[in-house]
Structure 1
Amino acid sequence: MTATFFHRLGAIIILLWLGLGLAACSNFVKGGDNRHNVPLPGSVVQGLRNMGSTPNEGMVVRMFKEESVLEVWKKTSSGTYNLFKTYEICAYSGDLGPKFKEGDRQSPEGFYTITPGLMNPRSSYYLAFNTGFPNKFDRAHGRTGSDLMVHGDCSSRGCYAMTDAGIAEIYALARETFKGGNSSFQLQIFPFRMTTANMAKHATSPHMDFWKDIKEGHDYFELTKTPPVWDVCEKQYIFNPTATGPLDAAGPCPPSVQTPALTAKLKADEADLAAKAEAARLAAERKAAEEAALKARGEAVNGFFSGIGENIGGLFGAPDAQAGAQATTGMPTATTQRP
């Protein structure tokens, strides 16, 4: 009986300890290191006020790998979002493209929803928030990974690393957004700024279909300055679906709402991308043809001079050949004297 009692007591203590540990990762805690509760600088508050916003308003975070920047956008009194501040990404892991599996040291791309439970005030990397990877899209494709963070310390092993000063301000902006009654903020992660020039530059990438998929959400935000509602169906992102309620990630897609401006932009960009890709293909063919012609000319010149060298060598080598022939036949040469 006594042993059973102590086993149960030990289990209760472990559960309480785990509960406290999880709470420390998911809530704004008090006491001890107070870096997660440091107030926003007055200059930040004034900057928000100048653009018609406040710390309590909604926000959107956008990240661009190739440019190594993180943008914080804040909701304004007009109902749309304005760019508030751009921060340098100190480091990220892997190459352009999404994350596929645990341990591939690849930083994710896509659309993610950040809630208070994903904030980490006790990060070993100063402060952090979890990206929420794998999201619904990632899970639909069987992708795996854990603890993919945006954090400080300027060191990455699959995460996005900021400077400590940068993550401190971003963290505080997120904290105040949640305190303002917002249940989440949207995190958008792209390989690069989604222009047709950049898309064409990476036209041969195996990730192109995925990038075209998330480009619609990127362009919607660019045009409307409001975050798109996103979901997953047919194993791809869908933006602003007409259906209510969550979609089956592998099921058929319902219609989606596209503004005339977005429809026109997507169509124009697709045509522009096709034209740029064709121009790049023709340029590559011309370059290959020029290199082949240059190589052929080089081989012809080398062959020509090699032939001349052989002929000259033959001329200078004739007397030796004559002498060899005379030695074999015993015939006198023109310079032999008679006794």
Structure 2
Amino acid sequence: MDRIDIAKKKHLPRILATLQQLGIYNDQLEIQFLGIKSQQLLQLWVRNTGDTSFQLYQQFPLTAFSGTLGPKEKEGDLQIPEGNYYINRFNPKSKYHLSLGINYPNEEDLFLGRTGSDIFIHGGSTSKGCLAIGDEAIEIVYLLALMAKDNGQKEIPVQIVP
């Protein structure tokens, strides 16, 4: 069994029950993330396709934090970026259990001369500019992101604020 199948076996019944409690249909699921650096939290928000507002699904504490408040400026500065991004890749074989890539640097970052690469939401408890949330949490987050993608959500927003 691969990591995703194991995660489904562990978490899918609870995920589906929580979505149902929120009035979210799993085949209409859309999600977005809000990373709050000052609180060291990642929030996951959900809605049905076509709804105008999102509901908070769950908050996940960061298991590691690097850098300080303020944007990522260059490769190797250990800063977590700040801005509006989206998930640009799914990595089921990450060295941090599972991971979701963030499109850093985006166009605004490039315009401002910011550099860097390989920023992820991932499992584990170490960070060099990423949003580390632990293995259990990334399993839940990854499954919900995969469901949203499979339902046709082309871009999954990730907003990171100080």
Per-residue deviation at 1:77? 7.1
Structure showing the higher helix proportion among its residues: 1
Which residue number corresponds to residue 76 of structure 1?
48
The change in CA–CA distance for 1:77 and 1:125 in structure 2 (over 3 A counts) is closer
Letter in 1 for 2:3: R
Q: 2:22 aligns with which of 26, 45, 51?
A: 51
Is the 1:134–1:143 contact (alpha carbons within 8 Å) kept by the matching residues of 2? yes
What amino acid sits opposite 2:64 in the alignment? A
- Map 1:266-281; keep pairs closer than 5 Å: none
**Partner of residue 137, structure 2:** 166
Q: Which has the higher contact order (CA 8 A, sep 6+)?
A: 2
Cα deviations across residues 137-156 of structure 1 (Å, max 9, x unaligned)?
10111110011111111111
2:76 — aligned with what? 103
How far 1:76 moved relative to its partner? Answer: 3.4
User: Given the two structures, how large is their TM-score scaled by the length of structure 1?
Assistant: 0.45
RMSD: 1.5
Q: Distance in 2 between matches of 1:174 and 1:126?
A: 15
Partners of 1:126 and 1:47 in 2: CA distance: 24
Contact 1:93–1:160 at 8 Å: present in 2 too?
A: no
Of Structure 1 and Structure 2, the greater strand share is in 2
Distance, in Å, in 2 between the alignment partners of 1:124 and 1:77 is 33
Ranges in structure 2 where 5+ consecutive residues have no aligned partner: none
1: CA distance between counterparts of 2:156 and 2:50? 18
8 Å CA contact 1:114, 1:130 repeated in 2: yes
Gaps of 5+ in 1: 1-32, 192-339
Structure 2-normalised TM-score? 0.91
SS in 2 for 1:74: strand
| In structure 1, distance between residues paired with 2:74 and 2:22 | 41
Deviation per CA, 1:100-133, whole angstroms, max 9, x where unpaired? 0011111111100224xx1111110101111110
Q: Quote how far apart the aligned CAs of 1:82 are.
A: 0.7
* Map of 2:62 onto structure 1: 89
Please tell me whether the aligned partners of residues 127 and 171 of structure 1 are also in contact (alpha carbons under 8 angstroms): yes
Query: What amino acid is aligned across from residue 42 of structure 1 in structure 2?
Result: P
Does residue 35 of structure 1 match 2:35?
A: no
Residues in 2 aligned to 1:36 and 1:132: alpha-carbon distance in whole angstroms: 22
**What is the CA-CA distance between 1:186 and the residue it aligns to?**
0.5
Larger radius of gyration between Structure 1 and Structure 2: 1
Distance in 2 between residues matched to 1:143 and 1:121, nearest whole Å: 28
Kindly provide the amino acid, as one letter, of the partner of residue 114 in structure 1.
I
